[in-house]
């Protein structure tokens, strides 16, 4: 596949064309209510696209696993019918850390039992990723080695100041990029892109992790009974905000909605969160993970140990920092906990 250069103007023209030809295009833009924040939303006008954004309130996972989606339609007479969302769509502006989160979800939703609902959406998506141009206040992607990304996207855009370097990674991406007015990327352009990458790999690091992300799993091995879980969870609201905004949280609840005919309806899945009281509750009244501190620990073990063991050792925290901003009592920061454990190895009880 090819590496091209687009001037800023031809990028805008290209996005214009994408909006005019495709049915569904989502892009990063100012948050509709709070204009100092950003969100992924339907892109109606190229002028709204903000590839210089820092971080979006919600990750783009909402396009692959929506907050609520119908899995199965049922009818007391006709039985069950699978629901299927077949609309093709384009997402513009996914940052590398979010792209890596999607790559992880792809693996998890395909593994063991193939989740056709997630995967259909994923396969229907064309992703135009872009390298980070502005660091958000809580980003620590450099620590998690997620500041740059090498796969998953169809096209990767990198702002090199005097234009964008655009690299198509798939046939789908190439076809789309062919519609843009491009020139061949020069050696200087490629070098400039490399400089952006090197800078991001070093400097997207507001909360530096004091070890390699691959070492977290081993660190947690010895930290199960560390006092930090109780200490932090003391002020946990069990509100699940950290789960809801996390690009790698994918746990869900399933519930049935009956229509007014009381004969047909939908079985839906909705986002759930392991921090919520009741997440492990069974009828009539037994809760397996009833303690706040156990739920708090579970999340950080999932990110640092459990999920990594399913996806070849990659840490399942991509360093976007959203949980840090979403947590009112400010206890969600994974780096703070992991660093604390590193410092406290002497206090660690096996």
**Binding positions for other proteins, 280-339, rule CB under 8 A:** 280-284, 286, 288-289, 292, 294, 298, 301-302, 305-306, 309, 325-326, 328-330
Q: Based on CB atoms, which residue is closest to other proteins, 14 or 296?
A: 296
Q: How far is the CB of 328 from other proteins (least distance, A)?
A: 5
| Choice from 257, 343, 345, 347 touching other proteins (CB under 8 A) | 257
Buried-exposed string 257-281: b where 16+ CB fall within 10 A, e elsewhere: eeeeeeeebbebbebbbbbbbebee
Among the candidate windows 71-79, 89-97, 151-159, 194-202, which touches other proteins by CB under 8 A? 71-79
- Is 214 among the residues that bind other proteins (CB under 8 A)? no
Q: What distance lies between CA 78 and its chain's CA centroid?
A: 38
| Choice from 20, 23, 184, 262 touching other proteins (CB under 8 A) | 262
How many C-beta atoms surround the C-beta of residue 218 within 10 A?
Answer: 13
* Strand residues in the chain grouped as ranges (E): 3-6, 24-30, 38-42, 68-75, 79-82, 89-94, 125-130, 155-159, 164-168, 183-184, 252-258, 264-271, 281-282, 286-287
Secondary structure element (H or E) that encloses residue 174, with its range:
helix 171-177
Q: How far is the CB of 170 from other proteins (least distance, A)?
A: 19
By rule CB under 8 A, what count of residues binds other proteins? 88
Q: How far is the CB of 278 from other proteins (least distance, A)?
A: 5
The answer to whether 94 touches 247, Cβ cutoff 8 Å, is no
Residues numbered 88-127 forming contacts with other proteins, rule: CB under 8 A: 108-109, 111-117, 119-120
| Choice from 195, 255, 344, 347 touching other proteins (CB under 8 A) | 255
Q: Based on CB atoms, which residue is closest to other proteins, 165 or 315?
A: 315
| Choice from 30, 37, 50, 336 touching other proteins (CB under 8 A) | 37
How many C-beta atoms surround the C-beta of residue 84 within 10 A?
Answer: 11
Cα atoms in the Cβ-side hemisphere of radius 13 Å centred on 340: 14
- Is 349 among the residues that bind other proteins (CB under 8 A)? no
Q: How far is the CB of 126 from other proteins (least distance, A)?
A: 17
Q: Based on CB atoms, which residue is closest to other proteins, 37 or 336?
A: 37
């Amino acid at each position: 596949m090819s590496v091209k250069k687009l001037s800023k103007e031809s990028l805008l023209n290209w996005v214009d064309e994408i909006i005019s030809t495709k049915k569904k295009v989502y892009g990063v833009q100012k948050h509709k209510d709070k204009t100092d924040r950003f969100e992924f939303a339907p892109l109606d006008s190229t002028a709204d696209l903000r590839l210089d954004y820092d971080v979006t309130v919600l990750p783009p996972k909402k396009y692959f696993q929506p907050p609520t989606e119908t899995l199965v339609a049922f009818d007391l007479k006709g039985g069950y019918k699978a629901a299927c969302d077949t609309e093709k769509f384009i997402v513009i502006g996914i940052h590398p850390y979010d792209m890596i989160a999607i790559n992880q979800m792809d693996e998890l939703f395909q593994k063991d039992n193939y989740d056709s609902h997630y995967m259909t959406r994923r396969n229907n998506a064309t992703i135009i990723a872009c390298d980070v141009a502005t660091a958000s206040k809580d980003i620590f992607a450099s620590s998690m080695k997620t500041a740059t990304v090498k796969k998953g996207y169809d096209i990767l855009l990198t702002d090199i100041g005097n234009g964008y370097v655009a690299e198509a990674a798939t046939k789908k991406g190439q076809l789309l990029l062919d519609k843009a007015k491009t020139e061949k990327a020069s050696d200087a352009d490629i070098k400039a892109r490399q400089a952006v990458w090197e800078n991001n790999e070093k400097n997207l690091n507001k909360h530096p992790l004091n070890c390699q992300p691959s070492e977290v799993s081993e660190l947690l091995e010895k930290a199960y009974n560390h006092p930090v879980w109780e200490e932090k969870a003391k002020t946990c609201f069990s509100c699940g905000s950290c789960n809801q905004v996390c690009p790698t949280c994918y746990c869900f609840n399933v519930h049935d909605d009956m229509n007014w005919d009381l004969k047909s309806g939908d079985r839906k899945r909705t986002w759930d969160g392991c921090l919520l009281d009741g997440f492990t509750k069974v009828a009539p009244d037994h809760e397996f993970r009833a303690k706040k501190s156990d739920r708090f620990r579970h999340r950080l073990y999932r990110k640092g140990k459990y999920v990594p063991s399913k996806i070849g050792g990659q840490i399942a925290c991509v360093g976007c920092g959203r949980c840090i901003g979403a947590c009112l009592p400010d206890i969600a920061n994974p780096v703070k906990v992991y660093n604390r454990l590193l410092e406290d190895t002497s206090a660690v009880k096996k």
